[in-house]
């Protein structure tokens, strides 16, 4: 977008462009105006042509995976607004939380425990208005070397637990026609790589969950003011990619810091809008990958970083 903006400015009168705007300049202006109009219409549609606002001292924010990385940063940012913030994680926070932020220990891979804790939170804190589904686990291994228990755990935390938490917290949002569901997915849910099949499939499920929640709130529950946001990061410096980080960097991929992703999510929620956030932003072109020619789709998938950069499975298995 930055390159487009510079090119656009160079075509305006007074920017060393002789005479009136030529055909190319008019075409660029028309495309720019069309994009702006399309963006505005998209935002209005995502918001169901309604507006809403937050009253932060009366909002209750739930963050899964709230003890580390992006989750911990979001917990503290929303606490700074005066909201009641509930952090759900199996590990306690590394630093003490503000007085209006509360840590609740829960194993999100255990559905019975998850439901019990969610029910307890409803009794303790009342209506929950913002649910940030941030928790996630990953296995950077091929299917044939991944234990069944790891596959089940990945799907439970990344895909099934969000369903359980939505069933607990969505009814109060629907009753008030007010709330926000934020799903932290992954670009691997759109672009499958050479390893981590279970992770990619679980994040594809999370993507479908995000879209379905928006549809149900709009058409089934009569709650058009409930916002839904999908976050699709590529590589963020978190424990999920710790084992593959050297290989990722060696391949020249952009590795984002948790602070910049958390800040962007935070600022987006403050707008009161639904949306889709890609990190880095240029990765949005991958949203239409499945409509590309097959040869180009496979070239993109072939290029996705593979595991720790070691030997492929068929050679490792012979050692």
**Residue predicted with more confidence, 216 or 302:** 216
Q: Is the pLDDT of residue 3 over 90?
A: no
State how far the Cα of 167 lies from the Cα of 115, in Å rounded to an integer: 9
Cα–Cα distance for residue pair 217/210, rounded to 1 Å: 11
How distant, in Å, are the alpha carbons of 75, 198, 237, 261, 277 from that of 264?
A: 14, 27, 15, 5, 8
pLDDT score recorded for residue 25: 87
Sorted by sequence, the CB contacts under 8 Å of residue 22 that are 6+ apart come out as: none
The residue behind tokens 């009253």 is 55
Query: Catalytic amino acids?
Result: 199
Angle at the Cα of 167 (from 192 to 210), degrees rounded to 5? 30
Distance separating alpha carbons of residues 155 and 132, to the nearest angstrom: 18
User: Which pLDDT does position 282 carry in this prediction?
Assistant: 86
Tokens 């909201």 belong to residue: 83
DSSP string, 124-181: HH----EEEE-------S-GGGS-HHHHHHHHIIIIIHHHHHHHHHHHHHHHHT-EEE
Position with higher pLDDT, 114 vs 242: 114
The contacts of residue 312 (CB under 8 Å, 6+ apart) are: 194, 306
Instruction: Give me the pLDDT at residue 303, please.
Output: 82
Confidence band of 315 (pLDDT split at 50, 70, 90): very low
pLDDT of residue 244: 73
Segment 84-106 shows an average pLDDT of 97
φ/ψ of residue 169, rounded to 5: -105, -20
- pLDDT digit string, tens, across residues 17-64: 454 456 788 889 999 999 999 999 999 999 999 999 999 999 999 999
Which of 1-15, 53-67, 74-88 shows the lowest per-residue confidence on average (mean pLDDT)?
1-15
Question: By mean pLDDT, which of 79-88, 179-188, 290-299, 302-311 is the weakest?
Answer: 302-311
Q: What is the pLDDT of residue 241?
A: 75
Instruction: In whole angstroms, give the CA distance from residue 61 to residue 217.
Output: 19
Q: Residue holding tokens 């879209």?
A: 211
- Its pTM stands at 0.86
Quote the mean pLDDT of the chain.
88
Q: Tell me the mean pLDDT in the region 126-135.
A: 96
pLDDT at 9: 43
What is the per-residue pLDDT across 207-228, written as a single tens digit (0 to 9) for each?
A: 999 999 999 999 999 999 999 9
Question: Which range among 41-45, 242-246, 285-289 shows the weakest confidence by mean pLDDT?
Answer: 242-246
Q: What is the pLDDT of residue 312?
A: 55
Is residue 305 predicted with pLDDT exceeding 70? no
**314 confidence band (pLDDT: 50, 70, 90):** low
Domains in the chain: ranges and CATH: 56-232+258-278 (3.40.50.720)
Structure tokens at 217: 């709130």
Which of 135-139, 196-200, 247-251 shows the lowest per-residue confidence on average (mean pLDDT)? Answer: 247-251
- pLDDT tens-place string over residues 155-204: 999 999 999 999 999 999 999 999 999 999 999 999 988 888 999 999 99
- Name the band, by pLDDT with cuts 50, 70 and 90, for residue 111: very high
CB 236 within 8 Å of CB 263: no
């Amino acid at each position: 977008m930055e390159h487009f903006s510079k090119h656009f400015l160079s075509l305006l009168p007074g920017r060393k462009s002789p005479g009136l705007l030529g055909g190319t300049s008019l075409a660029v202006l028309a495309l720019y105006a069309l994009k702006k109009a399309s963006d505005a219409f998209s935002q209005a549609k995502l918001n169901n042509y309604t507006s809403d606002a937050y009253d932060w001292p009366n909002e209750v924010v739930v963050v899964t995976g709230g003890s580390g990385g992006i989750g911990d940063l979001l917990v503290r940012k929303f606490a700074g607004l005066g909201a009641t913030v509930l952090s759900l994680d199996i590990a306690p926070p590394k630093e003490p939380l503000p007085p209006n932020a509360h840590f609740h220990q829960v194993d999100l891979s255990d559905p019975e425990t998850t439901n019990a804790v969610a029910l307890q939170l409803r009794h303790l804190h009342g209506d929950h208005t913002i649910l940030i589904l941030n928790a996630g686990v990953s296995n950077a291994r091929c299917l044939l070397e991944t234990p069944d228990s790891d596959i089940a755990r990945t799907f439970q935390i990344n895909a099934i637990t969000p369903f359980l938490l939505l069933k607990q917290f969505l009814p109060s949002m629907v009753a008030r026609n007010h709330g926000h569901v934020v799903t932290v997915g992954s670009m691997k849910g759109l672009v499958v790589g050479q390893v981590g099949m279970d992770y990619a499939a679980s994040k594809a499920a999370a993507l479908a969950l995000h879209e379905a929640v928006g549809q149900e709130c709009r058409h089934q529950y009569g709650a058009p003011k409930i916002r839904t946001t999908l976050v699709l990061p590529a590589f963020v410096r978190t424990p999920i990619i710790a084992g593959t980080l050297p290989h990722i960097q060696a391949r020249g991929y952009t590795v984002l810091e948790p602070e910049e992703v958390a800040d962007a999510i935070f600022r987006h929620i403050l707008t009161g809008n639904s949306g889709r956030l890609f990190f880095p932003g240029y990765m949005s072109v991958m949203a239409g990958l499945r409509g590309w020619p097959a040869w180009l789709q496979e070239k993109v998938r072939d290029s996705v970083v593979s595991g720790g950069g070691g030997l492929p499975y068929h050679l490792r298995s012979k050692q």
